Amino acid sequence: MASSSEPNRDSAAAAGSESNGALASSIPAAVPERRKVALVAGITGQDGSYLTEFLLGKGYEVHGLIRRSSNFNTARLDHIYVDPHNSSKARMKLHYADLSDASSLRRWVDSLLPDEVYNLAAQSHVAVSFEIPDYTADVVGTGALRLLEAVRSSSASSGRTIRYYQAGSSEMFGSTPPPQSETSAFHPRSPYAAAKVAAHWYTVNYREAYGLFACNGILFNHESPRRGENFVTRKITRAVGRIHVGLQTKLFLGNLSAARDWGFAGDYVEAMWLMLQQDEPGDYVVATDESHTVQEFLEAAFGYVGLDWKDHVVIDKRYFRPAEVDSLKGDSSKARKQLGWKPKVGFQELVKMMVDRDVELAKREKVLVDAGYIDAQQQP
């Protein structure tokens, strides 16, 4: 509680202002520095969650675009979510939109006026893209075009520079021999990969035609404990956890000789951000520059918990692709030189990180199974 004498400080301040006259009035009041604003399409995915953590750590205000679903699909963001009613603490906010709906994209770009836009949204499962090719092409390819146009139109009308990141994929190289770099030819072998190639060239075109600060990140396979369970690496580590605690005995897989350049998703989002901090836009391969087969991943994952993968893995032809991609291995020398980026997590550490998480998850699941709350018979 202020004492009766304390208001004299205000009086003195007022008198001082009067005595200084024009000098005092010419000093502008301090204006809080505006936070950088990022708009993330695909924020609920693996990469979106890691990128959001990274940007919040950099002091950004982050807005994410999510599709409407009858179930909440924000589990990867729950640990950083703050109710928007707590406006002083909520620096991540979610908005309904869809890459198939141009009007929703333009509305949010116009109203939020972001400094940076990250397009991580996609139907990103290669095998599924063979089953729903039209949808994949629309969301992955044309969806990127819709978002680029929203950024271009908003930039033109507002006079502000908006920097745009397009998530590319090593799948775009397809059957091109490794190592693959920014100058390697694209030879996509799936509807998903073909759509990503289209999105890549749309991004290049908008950069060249309109001067948009637009970058393509050609990311090789990047995994984490947050990877979707229907992707091969997480399918393996999830099975390892369940087999380890006795909830499962078999794991069904396809081509074990396919080789991939696997890195940690948490490392790769830093490269995305670094691309948008450069003086000039460009395209970059992001990779570990190492390649391992699915069989090597199996050996590392099962061996970590003392199991032999050969006792549990069954080859199922339904998991072979109509057009296989045999070997992907990146050459990320440009990113390492120009961005100063390099991966921190190696292959063995990545596998152990994922297995540790899925063993803990399986242990929790077993408690519920033993108590009769859930049925563990999904897998043989």
- Burial class of residue 107 in the structure, from the number of CB atoms within 10 Å of its CB (0-12 exposed, 13-18 middle, 19+ buried): middle
- How far apart are the C-alpha atoms of 321 and 338, rounded to whole Å? 36
| Cα→Cα distances 167→89, 144, 279, 331, 367, Å | 29, 9, 20, 17, 39
Q: Is 192 a catalytic residue?
A: yes
Q: Is residue 44 within 8 Å of residue 69, measured between CB atoms?
A: no
Q: Helix crossing, 265-275 with 46-57: angle to 10°?
A: 60
Tell me: the pLDDT tens digits for 125-161?
999 999 999 999 999 999 999 999 999 999 999 999 9
CA 376 centroid distance within chain: 31
Q: Is 60 a catalytic residue?
A: no
Tell me: the pLDDT tens digits for 172-220?
999 999 999 999 999 999 999 999 999 999 999 999 999 999 999 999 9
- How far apart are the C-alpha atoms of 203 and 146, rounded to whole Å? 11
Residue 19 confidence (pLDDT) above 50:
no
Question: How confident is the prediction for the chain on average, in pLDDT?
Answer: 91
Instruction: State the catalytic residue, choosing from 165, 192, 202, 304.
Output: 192
pLDDT of 9 reads 35
pLDDT of 318 reads 92
Instruction: State the catalytic residue, choosing from 171, 223, 270, 365.
Output: 171
> φ, ψ for residue 158 (rounded to 5)?
-95, -20
Instruction: State the catalytic residue, choosing from 129, 155, 169, 332.
Output: 169
Global confidence as pTM: 0.89
pLDDT of 83 reads 82
Structure tokens at 369: 């199974």
Strands (E), 220-272: 222-223, 251-253, 259-260, 263-264
- Neighbouring residues of 85: CB distance < 8 A, sequence distance ≥ 6: none
